[in-house]
Amino acid sequence: MVVGDFAIDLDTIVIGAGPGGYVAAIHAAELGQKVTVIEKEFVGGVCLNVGCIPSKALINAGHRFQQSLDSSVFGVSAENVKIDFAKTQDWKQHKVVDRLTGGVNMLFKKHKIDLIMGNAFLKDDHSLRVIQKDSAQTYTFKNLIIATGSRPIEIKGFKFGKRVLDSTGGLNLPEVPKELVVIGGGYIGSELAGAYANLGAHVTILEGTDSILPNFDKDMIKLVLDSYKKKGVTVVTSAMAKEAVETANGVEVSYEADGKLNKVAADYVMVTVGRRPNTNDIGLEIAGIEKTERGLVKVDEQGRTNKKNIYAIGDIVAGASLAHKASYEGKVAAEAIAGKPSTVDYVAMPAVCYTDPELGTAGLTEKDAKKDGHKVKVSKFPFVANGRAISLDQTEGFVKLISEPETGELLGAQVAGAGASDLISELTFALEAGANVEDLALTIHPHPTLGEAIMEAGDVATGFPTHI
């Protein structure tokens, strides 16, 4: 502390206002704590500003464009279908992102949460300093929740710039590129590749391993690859990206595949090869907080670090980098501070990829269940036998249940197809509630709905399928 810099005593501080931090802050306030949030860039974090939400807005715009171009199967046609991408971007920013981040600010006010815009840096395990433009202030805290999130990884030969973009740049393009190269076929790269292909770009995905979307089953990945083929997306696997060289009007990307050096010219290249936790420059070492070799903060099942009054949640701790995981951990940490016995339980953690078709998974996959030593029964019901899917003309995909053959206990579930992002919630609840496949089969589902495919997958599992 410098002379004249008096520390201000606070109760609970949360660093970072992403889906981990802001949810933790609100829940801590609901549980009676006086909460202060410190955020250096944007309320709502990556998810609301440059992640989940704007990406889904662009994906939706792409779907609308495609539907307008081609609904002839329904006898619907339109002429002169065009995109005004500046308008799309304006809608995404002002009607979607700003509305949601404004909502978080309102919730902070409602719960009397103080928000300080500035960069937080730990001084020890009971105080931190907030650096603002022209000033700095020290605060002491009783409890601290760190939710500083993650940032894109830059790779050698691909320095981010005007034409070499991270996912944030990819979301904020001024125009739909004619040619777009996406490096990395994980869920962010695959989603945005699909979105821009739907918006009219020719997209090339360069993936270093032998498959895109490695966390999903092969039968699900195949559906996405089939749809990329229809959209004209080029997918090159086992491709090592070498270098991007900016040219007068674009960028030239070189990569190695099959032992050969190849080049592809594009308007932009977007690098989505993963994200790095923001744990380097926030004073964790100074406060004596332990990290793993991968730079993640070590926490127990309440999110508590090796310092008993300091918690860490979201992308900076182990597990999938997902917004709902961050929020869930934020609630547990807030409850732990309030003295409740809450602990995390990831058994039913869902994940969704918003490709065409959407992919959803919850609990164990067949492979993981076998690895865990379970006997496994796989029961699949295809959307091609679902009335609602046929009426939507979206029959690709299936619901797949992974269960114990003897007890029928549900171990996991996957959905590929229309509405997968919503349908997976029912299956997540079933896992959370300890349901078995018979419970799913016996649950009356309204007709005609995509959800009936869940019931019918239960019928397949119990041995009495009606529609296949």
Ligand X SMILES: Cc1cc2nc3c(=O)[nH]c(=O)nc-3n(C[C@H](O)[C@H](O)[C@H](O)COP(=O)(O)OP(=O)(O)OC[C@H]3O[C@@H](n4cnc5c(N)ncnc54)[C@H](O)[C@@H]3O)c2cc1C
Q: Are 148 and 235 in contact (CB under 8 A)?
A: no
Give least dist CB 151 to ligand X, A: 8
Question: Could you tell me how many helices (H) and strands (E) the chain has, helices first?
Answer: 14, 24
315 is in an annotated binding site: yes
119-124: strand order across its sheet: 8-9, 136-140, 127-131, 119-124
Per-residue DSSP letters for 124-141? ETTEEEEE-SS-EEEEE-
User: Does the protein bind ligand X through residue 167 (CB under 6 A)?
Assistant: yes
Dist. CA 287–CA 279, nearest whole Å: 12
User: Does the protein bind ligand X through residue 420 (CB under 6 A)?
Assistant: no
Residues 206-235 that bind ligand X (CB under 6 A): none
Q: How many CB atoms lie within 10 A of CB 310?
A: 25
Compare residues 149 and 360 and give the one whose CB is closer to ligand X.
149
Residues 316-335 that bind ligand X (CB under 6 A): 321-324, 326
**Backbone Cα Rg of the chain:** 24
196 is in an annotated binding site: no
User: Does the protein bind ligand X through residue 137 (CB under 6 A)?
Assistant: no
What values do phi and psi take at 273, rounded to 5?
-105, 10
Give least dist CB 52 to ligand X, A: 4
Q: Are 253 and 206 in contact (CB under 8 A)?
A: yes
417 is in an annotated binding site: no
Q: Are 89 and 50 in contact (CB under 8 A)?
A: no
Give me the amino acid identity at 95. K
Over the window 264 to 303, marking each residue x when it contacts ligand X by CB under 6 A and - when it does not, the resulting string is --------------x---x---------------------
Q: How many CB atoms lie within 10 A of CB 247?
A: 11
Residues 326-385 that bind ligand X (CB under 6 A): 326
Residues 180-209 that bind ligand X (CB under 6 A): 188
Beta pairing class for 268-271 and 164-165: parallel
Give least dist CB 369 to ligand X, A: 23
Dist. CA 191–CA 52, nearest whole Å: 10
191 is in an annotated binding site: yes
71 is in an annotated binding site: no
Near ligand X by CB under 6 A, which window of 9-17, 75-83, 368-376, 456-464?
Answer: 9-17
The DSSP call for residue 156 is T
Give least dist CB 241 to ligand X, A: 19
Per-residue DSSP letters for 325-336? HHHHHHHHHHHH
Kindly state the tokens that stand for 251: 């960028």
User: Does the protein bind ligand X through residue 304 (CB under 6 A)?
Assistant: no
Kindly state the tokens that stand for 159: 């320095």
462 is in an annotated binding site: no
User: Does the protein bind ligand X through residue 428 (CB under 6 A)?
Assistant: no
List Cα–Cα distances, 113 to 19, 45, 107, in angstroms.
Answer: 15, 17, 8
Select from 465, 452, 454 the least CA-distant residue to 431. Answer: 454
User: Does the protein bind ligand X through residue 51 (CB under 6 A)?
Assistant: yes
Compare residues 45 and 62 and give the one whose CB is closer to ligand X.
45
> Which of 18, 177, 357, 397 touches ligand X (CB under 6 A)?
18
> Which of 149, 184, 186, 412 touches ligand X (CB under 6 A)?
149
Compare residues 131 and 468 and give the one whose CB is closer to ligand X.
131
188 is in an annotated binding site: yes
Q: In angstroms, how far is the first alpha carbon of the chain from the final one?
A: 72
Near ligand X by CB under 6 A, which window of 36-44, 135-143, 291-299, 398-406?
Answer: 36-44
User: Does the protein bind ligand X through residue 459 (CB under 6 A)?
Assistant: no
187 is in an annotated binding site: yes
Kindly state the tokens that stand for 218: 């092969």
Compare residues 278 and 428 and give the one whose CB is closer to ligand X.
278
Kindly state the tokens that stand for 183: 């490096």
> Which of 13, 20, 113, 270 touches ligand X (CB under 6 A)?
20
The DSSP call for residue 78 is -
190 is in an annotated binding site: yes
Our answer to whether residue 447 is catalytic in this structure is yes
User: Does the protein bind ligand X through residue 315 (CB under 6 A)?
Assistant: yes
Compare residues 148 and 204 and give the one whose CB is closer to ligand X.
148
Compare residues 144 and 399 and give the one whose CB is closer to ligand X.
144
Cα dihedral 105, 351, 155, 169 sign: negative
Dist. CA 318–CA 300, nearest whole Å: 11
User: Does the protein bind ligand X through residue 16 (CB under 6 A)?
Assistant: yes
Compare residues 125 and 315 and give the one whose CB is closer to ligand X.
315
What values do phi and psi take at 186, rounded to 5?
-75, -165
205 is in an annotated binding site: no
Give least dist CB 328 to ligand X, A: 11
Dist. CA 64–CA 199, nearest whole Å: 9
Binding residues for FAD: 56, 148-150, 315
User: Binding site membership for NAD(+): which residues?
Assistant: 184-191, 207, 274
Residues near ligand X, by CB under 6 A: 15-21, 38-42, 45-47, 51-52, 55, 119-120, 147-150, 167, 188, 278, 282, 314-315, 321-324, 326
Residue positions annotated with a catalytic role: 447
